[in-house]
Chains A and B, each alone.
Chain A
């Protein structure tokens, strides 16, 4: 196979959903035997595009050509038959099945009607050995960690003889050394002549692994660059992703007050098996201070936040304004004035099948304007929902609409507006601007800064390093459940922070 032959060519792809155009006129050329990265913001249309390429969804317009032949995919089986395999962002594994069962499902070696376990075991260990992907085929997947699961996903794809691999945000859940292992595997696969399509929004990683990078913005392809021949920086790519001006949150002036709002001592959260996910961390936040937590996703951020909210049981001591709230209920914590923007908004922050005004009450159902004593006060709750919709620019025809009807960004605006209501003393926020468009992002930052000036303390977790640096007064770097470094947002660069998050270097 020559380097210049095209493994995949997508031209003029359009895909519309009710109310959203996910892909508009996408054009993509992927050379055979290369690692081709597709980058873009959340909601830019990367995942939809890959689902189309993998036959999970059908494009409204446009053509797919694999190795020079135009094809129409009606289902993933068609794509699999053409040598395409996909490793999904959320692993597609059955926990109660063994590794072997997960790998062979759908293309089982048979002996009569009997599943030929012996043959399957041999085939899997052969492929595993060829590509340096060590797994035990007879262990239950539920007993395996994230890195192992990803290896199984890749094995699944190779087992089906795929020559073109799609990896959707493969590094989001990996710890740094696992990322290195993955990249080594990908380089090996490339050597074997396979083509890899790599979807990500982590630009440094993309620059280190990709032979070619295509940028998608608002559903369209905006350009391709070759990092080997062109001199591109992560910042250049970022600007291509979001349009020309990259908004920069800048926290102006020092508003930190003397009063300590949150004091955390020796907080630890343990997994079922007894492993520490959050490992003995201590910190404090003053009124008017924003403390940022930087870290690769899955290093304990979600657990810290849940523990602080009293949702997850933890050891250690948590004090809020001199009150020991270690053993207090979630409701009590909320009533003290702690706002919470959780990481997974569909699971934790919304009732999707309830109208917006009822969602306004969620988490605040014991306080004005939603309740008086034991009684709810729907009228004032509705009025206040209208206020949030105006102030936070939630795009909706009415507050009676179901939350599920809103786009992700607008849902997020509603949640931020809700949690900033009622003058919270402390805001615990994970990715407050995730999935929100650029204009609204700046507005949310303004709201947070404004509240900080009047004494709000904020604990901020974000994958957006610019956001973290721009808003925070102090940054703590979290790695495997521990704070491994402190960074001064005034001097640190995203690159330095990114390095520290992988545990590789010292930070200023």
Chain B
């Protein structure tokens, strides 16, 4: 099974790089797969990935966590405040703790009191927003370097790693522009360029989640609370405890995601999350409530965000349009082979529209890239929703002793 999985992973990575490479060759825009782009994409992707991972924990235990956004906000604040006071690692810790408090609140409302989970999560989002805005004014207004809506700078840095012996040769290889090879080189180099310790921790948390939730007895029990809590209870599994543990840990991960954001921008700022909690939730859904797919979704968001923000020659968005068209054509072709004619026609048509747009315009406004991830998410959900397997009891309030 692991053999099959790694083969599938390599296959997917190969396809992705090929498509990127085709796009890069046609547009002759080296930025698309450059070392810096990839390194920056990892930074943008990590907080979203952490939010998505947080969603996996809560929803695998059967609690929909739409309060992720609020927990992330709490995390950004905790990191900004404690990071300014006692340094960056205290900031990480405070972000995690603040997020955990948000998670605890959701657990109390949704698990103990059985409040509708979406409503409880929405309430937490509102509370977190109000609380942090208030505390920011109280704590940061008169602080040197702070303001009504932002904290003074966080003290210290998270260590980052650049392995020159890998990056330099690969970067020069990237600059040769050889099809596929140079793109692969750029991507690999990006993984070892300015790699933050927090990104490594994020990666380890993903690995840990895969192992804990799917390979251990603890994980089986936790997931049973999301699949059929009544059955789990009848076998002596302490469902409520597992739900609490999962939701609080979910809050911790979201808080860490928030802390990552604050640390990456060196301060806490009101509105810094900009809906990344919700985006994390979306990546979780299109990752089918699994770590691998969620990470892929987060990378897509991070990648598109990066291209939009480093778009110096106004050509990156155009490249993205072409990439999108190529992906749509590929999926359309796949659908044709699976004899799903209607879906195939839909994809091919959409792809043609994008090709047309690509050739008719010299450049595209950044707003196109701004909305691209959301449109992509909707497209993915619209195509794949019927094949997704959410936890069977996700979102259903559980009370001990009740029958379903």
A and B touching (Cβ–Cβ under 8 A): yes
Complex alpha-carbon distance, A113 and B389, angstroms:
26
Complex alpha-carbon distance, A214 and B239, angstroms:
35
A77 on the interface (CB 8 Å rule)? Answer: yes
B11 on the interface (CB 8 Å rule)? Answer: no
Q: How large is the interface on A (under 10, 10 to 19, 20 to 34, 35 or more residues)?
A: 20 to 34
B392 touches A80 (CB 8 A): no
Nearest CB of B to A57, in Å: 7
Point out the residues of chain B lying under 8 angstroms from A211, CB to CB.
none
Closest to A88 in B: B234
B216 touches A105 (CB 8 A): no
Task: Give A91-137 interface residues, CB cut-off 8 Å to B.
Answer: 92-97, 101-102, 104-108, 110, 113-115
Complex alpha-carbon distance, A88 and B230, angstroms:
11
Stretch of B101-109, B217-225, B319-327 at the chain-chain interface: B217-225
B218 touches A113 (CB 8 A): yes
B401 touches A56 (CB 8 A): yes
A114 touches B216 (CB 8 A): yes
A92 touches B234 (CB 8 A): yes
Which of B215, B221, B223, B392 contacts A114, CB < 8 Å? B215
Compute the total of residue contacts between A and B using a CB distance below 8 Å. 71
Known contacts A105-B221, A113-B216, A115-B215; decide if A96 and B392 are in contact (CB<8 Å).
yes
Most chain A CB inside 10 Å of its own CB: which residue of B235, B389, B392: B235
Complex alpha-carbon distance, A110 and B231, angstroms:
21
Point out the residues of chain A lying under 8 angstroms from B257, CB to CB.
none
Complex alpha-carbon distance, A77 and B234, angstroms:
8
A86 on the interface (CB 8 Å rule)? Answer: yes
A90 on the interface (CB 8 Å rule)? Answer: yes
A156 on the interface (CB 8 Å rule)? Answer: yes
Complex alpha-carbon distance, A331 and B119, angstroms:
33
Point out the residues of chain B lying under 8 angstroms from A94, CB to CB.
224, 227-228, 231-232, 392
Closest to A110 in B: B217
Nearest CB of B to A220, in Å: 24
Complex alpha-carbon distance, A35 and B223, angstroms:
36
Point out the residues of chain B lying under 8 angstroms from A108, CB to CB.
217, 220
Nearest CB of B to A408, in Å: 13
Point out the residues of chain A lying under 8 angstroms from B233, CB to CB.
76
B236 touches A77 (CB 8 A): yes
Nearest CB of B to A250, in Å: 37
Nearest CB of A to B42, in Å: 30
Point out the residues of chain A lying under 8 angstroms from B219, CB to CB.
115
A184 on the interface (CB 8 Å rule)? Answer: no
Nearest CB of B to A423, in Å: 37
Point out the residues of chain B lying under 8 angstroms from A96, CB to CB.
227, 389, 391-392
A75 on the interface (CB 8 Å rule)? Answer: yes
Most chain A CB inside 10 Å of its own CB: which residue of B220, B230, B232, B233: B220
B231 touches A80 (CB 8 A): no
Which of B228, B234, B391 contacts A76, CB < 8 Å? B234
B403 on the interface (CB 8 Å rule)? Answer: yes
A106 touches B389 (CB 8 A): no
Complex alpha-carbon distance, A95 and B401, angstroms:
20
Complex alpha-carbon distance, A77 and B401, angstroms:
14
Q: Mark B375-399, 1 if CB is under 8 A from A, else 0.
A: 0000000000000010110000000
A57 touches B401 (CB 8 A): yes
Complex alpha-carbon distance, A217 and B231, angstroms:
29
Point out the residues of chain B lying under 8 angstroms from A80, CB to CB.
235-236
B residues contacting the other copy or chain, number (CB 8 A): 24
Complex alpha-carbon distance, A97 and B234, angstroms:
16
Complex alpha-carbon distance, A86 and B220, angstroms:
21
B231 touches A107 (CB 8 A): no
Q: Mark A81-93, 1 if CB is under 8 A from B, else 0.
A: 0000010101011
B372 on the interface (CB 8 Å rule)? Answer: no
A92 touches B236 (CB 8 A): no
Q: Mark B226-259, 1 if CB is under 8 A from A, else 0.
A: 0110111111110000000000000000000000
Complex alpha-carbon distance, A95 and B231, angstroms:
11
Q: Mark A363-390, 1 if CB is under 8 A from B, else 0.
A: 0000000000000000000000000000
Point out the residues of chain B lying under 8 angstroms from A115, CB to CB.
215-217, 219-220
Point out the residues of chain B lying under 8 angstroms from A101, CB to CB.
220
Which of B218, B228, B392, B401 contacts A92, CB < 8 Å? B228
Nearest CB of B to A224, in Å: 28
Complex alpha-carbon distance, A219 and B227, angstroms:
34
Point out the residues of chain A lying under 8 angstroms from B227, CB to CB.
94-97
Closest to A78 in B: B236
Which of A90, A106, A156 contacts B221, CB < 8 Å? A106
Point out the residues of chain B lying under 8 angstroms from A75, CB to CB.
236
Complex alpha-carbon distance, A113 and B217, angstroms:
7
Task: Give B282-331 interface residues, CB cut-off 8 Å to A.
Answer: none
Complex alpha-carbon distance, A188 and B361, angstroms:
78
Complex alpha-carbon distance, A108 and B220, angstroms:
9
B234 touches A86 (CB 8 A): yes
Point out the residues of chain A lying under 8 angstroms from B237, CB to CB.
105-106
Nearest CB of B to A319, in Å: 34
Most chain A CB inside 10 Å of its own CB: which residue of B223, B224, B234: B234
Point out the residues of chain B lying under 8 angstroms from A110, CB to CB.
216-217
A105 touches B389 (CB 8 A): no
A106 touches B391 (CB 8 A): no
Most chain B CB inside 10 Å of its own CB: which residue of A86, A94, A101, A113: A94
Task: Give B30-86 interface residues, CB cut-off 8 Å to A.
Answer: none
Complex alpha-carbon distance, A90 and B228, angstroms:
12
Point out the residues of chain B lying under 8 angstroms from A113, CB to CB.
216-218
Closest to B225 in A: A94
Given contacts A94-B227, A105-B237, A113-B218, 6 further A-B contacts (CB under 8 A): A86-B234, A93-B231, A94-B228, A102-B231, A106-B236, A107-B236
Q: Can you give 27 contacting A-B residue pairs, CB < 8 Å?
A: A56-B234, A56-B401, A76-B233, A76-B235, A80-B235, A92-B234, A93-B228, A94-B224, A94-B231, A95-B228, A96-B391, A96-B392, A97-B223, A97-B227, A102-B231, A105-B231, A105-B232, A105-B237, A107-B235, A108-B220, A110-B216, A113-B216, A113-B217, A114-B216, A115-B215, A115-B217, A115-B219
**10 nearest A-B residue pairs (beta carbon):** A77-B236, A106-B235, A92-B231, A94-B227, A108-B217, A94-B228, A115-B217, A113-B216, A106-B236, A106-B237
